[in-house]
Amino acid sequence: SSPYPTLGILTLDTETPLGEIRFKIPNLVVRRLYIEQIQSMLLPDDQEQMAGLQAAKELYATGDMQPLCEFIERRYFKVFDNRDYRWAGEFTLKTIFLTLLFQDTFYLIDSEMDLARGYADLTLIVRPERRQYPLLDIALEFKYISLAEAGLDGETARHLSHEELRDLPVMRDKLAEARSQLQRYRDALTERYGDTLRLRAYAVVALGFERLVWDVAEAEP
């Protein structure tokens, strides 16, 4: 058994249909400690951490996702090697983004928020007391494509242009799937939070631990 529930690091959440116990991180303080620990493991240099946070600020303030994706490609993805592909997936991708986007002073941050009969991967909703600042509300949907699924090796993937990446059939499919999900979540979030919402919704797709492609899920007219 794990010592973490006894120490208060985890708390009982739910049981699965098979009777398995699920735990969750109990509060924001402990959650922040988790995030900071993961960030320090993946990015131990303080200056690089600051550079990553600056890229995240570009997203908060302007809606530009590109600096953040470029930073993750250059810095975070370099940490992983072939052995890490065993654990590769959407959860890993979400965790990477969360280490840079976890700003609970300004945002209500939710992973797997229950919306429109689905679960939004990551939402950052501006706190009511911070609405006077020009911060964007953000919803992200993550998808992961293995190199094998794309029929590529790492070297080839690293040298593809952005246009070539977007033109991969599997990439087009994943982006379309994520945009469709985000449209449902956008409608549900607007209904929940009303006209104060300044929502930007992003589909983010990783090709292995090599490349990232993102797209904005625009509101339907």
DSSP state at residue 209: T
pLDDT band at 4 (very low <50, low <70, confident <90, very high): very low
Contact 193, 127 (CB under 8 A): no
| pLDDT at residue 221 greater than cutoff 90 | no
Q: Return the structure tokens found at 14.
A: 């739910």
| Burial class, 181, CB count within 10 angstroms (exposed 0-12 / middle 13-18 / buried 19+) | buried
Mean per-residue pLDDT for 102-115? 87
CB neighbours (10 Å) of residue 114? 10
The pLDDT mean for the chain works out to: 82
Contact 157, 193 (CB under 8 A): no
Q: Return the structure tokens found at 15.
A: 């049981």
| pLDDT at residue 104 greater than cutoff 90 | no
Contact 119, 184 (CB under 8 A): no
Q: Return the structure tokens found at 54.
A: 């600056």
What confidence score (pLDDT) does residue 183 get?
93
pLDDT band at 25 (very low <50, low <70, confident <90, very high): very low
Q: C-alpha distances in angstroms, 130 versus 17, 106, 107, 126, 175?
A: 40, 6, 8, 6, 32
- One-letter amino acid of 96: I
Q: Which of 16-20, 75-79, 173-177 has the lowest mean pLDDT?
A: 16-20
What confidence score (pLDDT) does residue 7 get?
34
User: What is the value of pTM for the model shown?
Assistant: 0.79
Q: C-alpha distances in angstroms, 41 versus 80, 86, 108, 135, 148?
A: 12, 18, 25, 29, 28
* % of the chain beyond a pLDDT of 70: 75
